[in-house]
């Protein structure tokens, strides 16, 4: 083969995003705070759709808005550590099943109501409602964890959650569940009423205006208003900041960064993200059911060259299924270095000395570089005797459903993004649970260690278990481990001179 053979899957093409025909000039309005910074902040990113705040989603764009409007029981600080939010404290009983959360008194929702335990119970029940659905195949994810849990109001400011089995990482779930007043939940997703630092001022197509919540229980909101604008074209985002029409832009490309640095326009910030770009292997059947083949697929790739050519250097190689932002990541686990000779030896041992044919599934977007990535992987695999056919799927939502239904070919491109190590293990790697993204990988020792970790409430001890799992899974290679992209932002030096990105990449002010 002289190049990859591409064929289009049966999924239909999503309608293109309509370009926003106007920009707010809020960043130049002259409305300033007492310290001289603007009282209105304008943020531009690729999308500003909120949708239902209770669906399971890892979209940074969406979550930045959701957690400007809402609070959860607990939250993560800028470094990624768990800290109190609506719950001022919590504890776990000696049975390892009963969690008690003590709520802050006098927390005011945007509609003036005061938070009670009944609001938390009603919200969590809505989160677990099968009718809520999910994003890109995530429907039912939270229900699979807490569907059999008992959630109750012990008194006006105390919530009890009794889990059916020990769940040492329960906070990994609760941090993603925004709380609203019970009286207003039926209005979702049309009206958004939370207790967060900002409330909805107006929502139009491609635009959301958030206003400071004067009754916020925490630190005073930094801005009187935040104007969020959707712009899918990264070049237009760059022009908007360079021309002073916006204060923050997200999703810069390396070329955009170099242009802005060359012209001295704004401050550039980078973060090695918690997103994993990988291929999940079909371990049910076919060549990838053999561990040696999966290892060979990792050794045959020059990931550094892929990062240089496909990501313009804006990524870091993975040494497994997590990033250093994840609890239990093992920094001592080696990466699969580029070793074509080792790949050929492994293929020969697996019975493919004469060559191997693979069919790879990729989405046309998310990750957007998937076609270019598949092209380069095809070229590198050819060097070790592997010929590749690539199937391109245009409909990203349908692609996720195909993966969830375990109908992939030999391997499929995926962006693995949950910040919870526990969720990654349960949903993608545990062979008894056979979660939504599991693709046939089976290691009973890994299953046993996951169960041990779930019942280990010492963070230090649980992290040690997760690190053992990490090395086992890396060696089994159920995935082709590629890279974690670098996130890039640009901000106005006048509006945000001291701003730094959070570990989770959310834009929270």
pLDDT of residue 19 exceeding 50: no
Rounded to whole angstroms, how far apart are CA atoms 380 and 47?
35
pLDDT of residue 2 exceeding 50: no
Name residue, tokens 């119970």. 121
Specify which residues 179 forms β-bridges with.
71
Check residue 15 and give its pLDDT: 32
Question: Worst-scoring range by mean pLDDT, 1-15, 105-119, 161-175, 424-438?
Answer: 1-15
Report how far Cα 431 is from the mean position of its chain's Cα atoms: 23
Mean pLDDT of 50-74: 96
Rounded to whole angstroms, how far apart are CA atoms 303 and 410?
20
CB of 40 closer than 8 Å to CB of 28: no
Beta strand 87-92 with 98-103: parallel, antiparallel or unpaired? Answer: antiparallel
Query: Environment class of residue 202 by beta-carbon count within 10 Å: exposed (0-12), middle (13-18) or buried (19+)?
Result: exposed
Where does the pLDDT of residue 36 fall: very low under 50, low under 70, confident under 90, or very high at 90 and above?
A: low
Q: List, in order of start, the domains of the chain with CATH numbers.
A: 72-182 (3.90.76.10), 274-486 (3.10.105.10)
pLDDT of residue 267 exceeding 90: yes
pLDDT of residue 309 exceeding 80: yes
Rounded to whole angstroms, how far apart are CA atoms 192 and 378?
46
CB of 47 closer than 8 Å to CB of 232: yes
* pTM of the predicted model as reported, rounded to 2 decimal places: 0.91
pLDDT of residue 22 exceeding 60: no
Which residues are CB-neighbours of 133 under 8 A, at least 6 positions away? 52, 55, 139
Q: Which helix (H) or strand (E) holds 270?
A: strand 267-272
What angle, 0 to 180 degrees and rounded to 10, lies between the N-to-C axes of helices 291-299 and 459-476? 90
Check residue 33 and give its pLDDT: 59
Where does the pLDDT of residue 360 fall: very low under 50, low under 70, confident under 90, or very high at 90 and above?
A: very high
Where does the pLDDT of residue 35 fall: very low under 50, low under 70, confident under 90, or very high at 90 and above?
A: low
Beta strand 479-491 with 225-230: parallel, antiparallel or unpaired? Answer: unpaired
Report how far Cα 472 is from the mean position of its chain's Cα atoms: 24
Rounded to whole angstroms, how far apart are CA atoms 504 and 80?
7
pLDDT of residue 27 exceeding 60: no
Check residue 16 and give its pLDDT: 33
Check residue 4 and give its pLDDT: 37
Output the six-digit token pair for 195: 């207790």
Question: Worst-scoring range by mean pLDDT, 35-39, 42-46, 59-63, 138-142?
Answer: 35-39
The DSSP annotation for 254-301 comes to HHHHHHHHHHT-SEEEEEE-S-EEEEEE--SSSGGGSHHHHHHHHHT-
Check residue 195 and give its pLDDT: 98
Beta strand 74-76 with 82-84: parallel, antiparallel or unpaired? Answer: antiparallel
The DSSP annotation for 165-217 comes to S--TTTHHHHTT--B--GGGGGGTTT----SSSEEEEEEETTEEEEEE-TT-S
- CA torsion through residues 397, 398, 401, 402, sign: negative
Task: Report, in angstroms and rounded to the nearest whole number, the Rg of the chain calculated over CA atoms.
Answer: 24
Name residue, tokens 């997703």. 189
Name residue, tokens 């107006």. 202
pLDDT-above-70 percentage for the chain? 93
Mean pLDDT of 3-7: 35
Which residues are CB-neighbours of 113 under 8 A, at least 6 positions away? 119, 181, 183
Check residue 494 and give its pLDDT: 86
Tens of pLDDT, residues 177-210: 999 999 999 999 999 999 999 999 999 999 999 9
pLDDT-above-90 percentage for the chain? 87
């Amino acid at each position: 083969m002289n190049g990859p053979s591409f064929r289009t899957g049966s999924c239909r093409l999503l309608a293109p995003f309509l370009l926003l025909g106007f920009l707010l000039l809020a960043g130049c309005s002259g409305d300033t705070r007492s310290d001289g910074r603007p009282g209105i902040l304008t943020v531009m990113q690729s999308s500003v759709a909120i949708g239902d705040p209770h669906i399971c989603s890892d979209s940074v764009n969406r979550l930045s808005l959701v957690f400007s409007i809402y609070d959860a029981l607990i939250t993560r600080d800028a470094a990624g550590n768990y800290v109190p939010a609506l719950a001022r404290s919590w504890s776990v009983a000696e049975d390892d099943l009963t969690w008690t959360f003590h709520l802050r008194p006098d927390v005011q929702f945007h509609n003036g109501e005061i938070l009670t335990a009944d609001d938390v119970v009603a919200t969590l029940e809505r989160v677990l409602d099968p009718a809520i659905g999910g994003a890109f195949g995530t429907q039912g994810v939270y229900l699979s964890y807490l569907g059999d849990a008992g959630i109750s109001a012990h008194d006006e400011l105390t919530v009890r959650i009794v889990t059916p089995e020990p769940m040492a990482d329960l906070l990994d779930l609760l941090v993603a569940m925004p709380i609203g007043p019970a009286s207003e939940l039926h209005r979702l997703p049309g009206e958004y009423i939370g207790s967060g630092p900002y409330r909805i001022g107006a929502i139009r197509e491609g635009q959301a205006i958030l206003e400071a919540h004067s009754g916020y229980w925490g630190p005073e909101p930094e801005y009187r208003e935040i104007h969020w604008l959707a712009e899918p074209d990264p070049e237009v985002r760059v022009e908007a900041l360079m021309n002073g029409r916006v204060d923050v832009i997200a999703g810069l490309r390396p070329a955009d960064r170099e242009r802005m640095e060359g012209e001295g326009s704004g401050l550039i910030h980078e973060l090695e993200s918690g997103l994993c770009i990988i291929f999940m292997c079909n371990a049910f059947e076919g060549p990838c059911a053999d561990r040696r083949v999966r290892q060979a697929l990792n050794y045959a790739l020059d990931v550094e060259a892929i990062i240089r050519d496909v990501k313009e250097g804006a990524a870091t190689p993975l040494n497994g299924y997590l990033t250093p932002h994840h609890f239990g990541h093992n920094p001592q686990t080696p990466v699969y270095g580029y070793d074509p000779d080792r790949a050929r030896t492994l293929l020969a041992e697996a019975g493919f000395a004469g060559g191997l044919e693979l069919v790879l599934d990729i989405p046309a977007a998310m990750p957007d570089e998937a076609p270019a990535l598949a092209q380069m992987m095809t070229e590198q695999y050819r060097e070790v005797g592997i010929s590749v056919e690539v199937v391109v799927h245009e409909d990203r939502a349908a692609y996720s459903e195909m993966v969830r239904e375990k109908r992939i070919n030999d391997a499929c491109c995926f962006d693995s993004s949950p910040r919870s190590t526990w969720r990654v293990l349960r949903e993608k790697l545990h062979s008894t649970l056979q979660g939504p993204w599991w693709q046939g990988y089976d290691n009973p020792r890994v299953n046993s260690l996951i169960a041990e970790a779930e019942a280990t409430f010492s963070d230090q001890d649980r992290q040690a278990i997760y690190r053992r799992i990490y090395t086992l899974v890396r060696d089994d290679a159920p995935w082709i481990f590629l890279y974690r992209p670098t996130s890039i932002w640009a901000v106005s030096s006048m509006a945000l001179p001291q701003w730094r990105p959070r570990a989770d990449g959310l834009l929270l002010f």
